[in-house]
Amino acid sequence: MRLLVFIQEVSGIEEKIQKAPDSAYEIGVVIGTYLPFVVMVFIAYIFYYYSKKRKNR
């Protein structure tokens, strides 16, 4: 998971947060940045779980 964080363009995120008009925008930037990666990890886990389950049959 840490690798995904380092891959992202951190300077762009920091710039958006610094220029944010209020704290709600900052929260939206953080959620919008990390949510796609969380969803990808979840989907990868589902594939792993089903392939492991299928292999045990």
pLDDT at residue 32, as a whole number? 87
As averages over each run of 10 residues, the pLDDT of the chain (57 residues) reads 57 78 84 89 95 82
pLDDT at residue 45, as a whole number? 97
d(CA 13, CA 57): 46
Strands (E), the chain: none
pLDDT at residue 14, as a whole number? 77
Domains in the chain: how many in total? 1
Q: Provide the domain limits for residue 27.
A: 2-55
pLDDT at residue 17, as a whole number? 80
pLDDT at residue 6, as a whole number? 56
pLDDT at residue 49, as a whole number? 93
